[in-house]
């Protein structure tokens, strides 16, 4: 049985980000790390996007960065500039290559397919495999997207469509998300915020008719992506020698599904405190966001038909305020200015519900 100082369970986004951060800052010169990951090969499987409100290690994996985005409802539309906090998209294929290339050179890091040959009695464990206690009332952000290439130049590659609610809502919350990587290449996603519901998953026909509506008839598909982000926290069992990271560690912002940049900040926190990690406070997305997101999701469950306008109005505050709020970087005045934009009576009722 092999023994290691640290064990990372799950070599996905959080596990690899942490291993990279520890390796980069020479925290593994005298320590041994095992990464347990069952996948047999790494290939592009996701596109991670976010407003860049803080620095990260993966600038060279950014596929495209935008300085403006649009939001649309069936009656309104606006373009919002975000010069200070560009919206970035990371190609997971580039990320996996970069991290694997670096960390596989470190003799103190070893990969395993499972835990069978590991003795973890004296190890500190970073676990990224979530334990879900799923119930019917839980909300999910579920989506399906395709990256298409058109013959003619079609897309405005300066502006991404963050949320286009001008589509069939089926008593849930539904929008299209378009990332134009160039004038003839874009990722188009159909996204739902709903309880588990098979009848919403006719994704391909939703996308097809949206693309036709955009006026694109001739295209080829280069990549497909499907996923579901839990808009609830996985079970977190407190253990002396273990902390959870990534989705399992509560790094998802529940009102938006954004997780990537929180994972990067968590990795930095662990790296800075690695020598004393057993005694460190659990890293969390701020309590105020947990509270506000809980209320927000209650409103979303009760009044899905109001959500397109609620999201639209949220972007009525200054862009930096809204982006900071959605990226957990806002101060109390900025929080208040967002809350002010919300339909107050509905939100107040939801607090007491």
Name the site residues for ligand FAD (rule: CB under 6 A).
9-15, 36-39, 46-50, 128-129, 225, 227, 229, 246-248, 257-260, 263
State the nearest-atom distance from the C-beta of 175 to ligand FAD, in Å: 14
Residue 125 CB contacts under 8 Å (≥ 6 apart), including other chains? 6, 7, 8, 9, 239, 241, 242, 243
Answer whether 143's CB lies under 8 Å from 231's CB.
no
103: exposed, middle or buried (Cβ count in 10 Å: 0-12, 13-18, 19+): buried
Minimum Å distance from CB 139 to ligand FAD?
A: 15
> Which residue number places its CB atom closest to ligand FAD?
12
Residue 15: closest CA among 117, 141, 111, 134? 111
Nearest to 143 by CA among 203, 70, 206: 203
Minimum CB separation from ligand FAD for residue 98, in Å? 15
Smallest distance, Å, CB 146 to ligand FAD?
Answer: 12
When the beta carbons of 177 and 350 are compared against ligand FAD, the nearer one is 177
Cβ proximity of 313 and 73 under 8 Å: no
If the CB atoms of residues 48 and 350 are measured against ligand FAD, the closer one turns out to be: 48
Measured in degrees and rounded to the nearest 5, phi and psi for residue 290 equal -60, -40
For residues 9 and 186, which CB has a smaller minimum distance to ligand FAD in the complex?
9
| Closest CB to ligand FAD among residues 293, 350 | 293
Closer Cβ to ligand FAD, 118 or 299, answer by number: 118
Task: CB nearer to ligand FAD: give 176 or 350.
Answer: 176
Q: Which helix (H) or strand (E) holds 152?
A: none
Residue 180 C-beta: closest distance to ligand FAD, Å: 15
Burial of residue 184 (number of CB atoms within 10 Å: 0-12, 13-18, 19+): middle
Shortest distance in whole angstroms from residue 14 CB to ligand FAD: 3
């Amino acid at each position: 049985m092999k023994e290691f100082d640290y064990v990372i369970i799950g070599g996905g986004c959080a596990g690899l980000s942490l291993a990279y951060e520890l390796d980069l800052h020479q925290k593994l010169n005298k320590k041994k790390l095992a990464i347990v990951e069952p996948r047999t090969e790494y290939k592009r499987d996701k596109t991670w996007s976010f407003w860049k409100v803080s620095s990260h290690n993966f600038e060279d994996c950014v596929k495209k960065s935008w300085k403006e985005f649009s939001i649309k409802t069936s009656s309104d539309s606006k373009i919002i500039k975000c010069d200070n906090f560009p919206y970035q998209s990371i190609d997971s294929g580039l990320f996996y290559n970069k991290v694997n290339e670096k960390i596989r050179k470190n003799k103190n890091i070893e990969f395993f397919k499972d835990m069978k040959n590991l003795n973890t009695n004296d190890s500190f464990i970073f676990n990224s495999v979530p334990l879900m206690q799923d119930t019917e009332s839980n909300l999910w952000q579920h989506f399906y997207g395709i990256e298409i290439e058109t013959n003619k130049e079609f897309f405005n590659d300066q502006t991404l469509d963050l949320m286009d609610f001008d589509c069939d809502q089926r008593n849930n919350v539904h929008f299209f998300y378009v990332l134009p990587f160039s004038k003839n290449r874009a990722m188009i996603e159909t996204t739902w915020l709903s309880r588990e519901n098979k009848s919403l998953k006719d994704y391909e026909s939703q996308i097809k008719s949206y693309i036709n509506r955009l006026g694109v008839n001739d295209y080829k598909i280069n990549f497909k992506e499907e996923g579901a982000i839990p808009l609830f926290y996985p079970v977190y069992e407190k253990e002396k020698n273990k902390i959870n990271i990534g989705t399992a560690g509560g790094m998802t912002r529940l009102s938006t599904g954004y997780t990537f940049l929180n994972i990067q900040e968590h990795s930095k926190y662990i790296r800075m405190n690695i020598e004393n990690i057993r005694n460190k406070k659990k890293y969390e997305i701020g309590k105020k966001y947990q509270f506000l997101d809980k209320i927000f999701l209650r409103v979303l469950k009760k009044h899905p038909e109001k959500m397109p306008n609620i999201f639209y109005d949220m972007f009525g505050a200054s862009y930096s305020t809204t982006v900071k709020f959605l990226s957990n970087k806002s101060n109390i005045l900025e929080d208040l200015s967002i809350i002010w934009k919300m339909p107050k009576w509905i939100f107040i009722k939801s607090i007491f519900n």
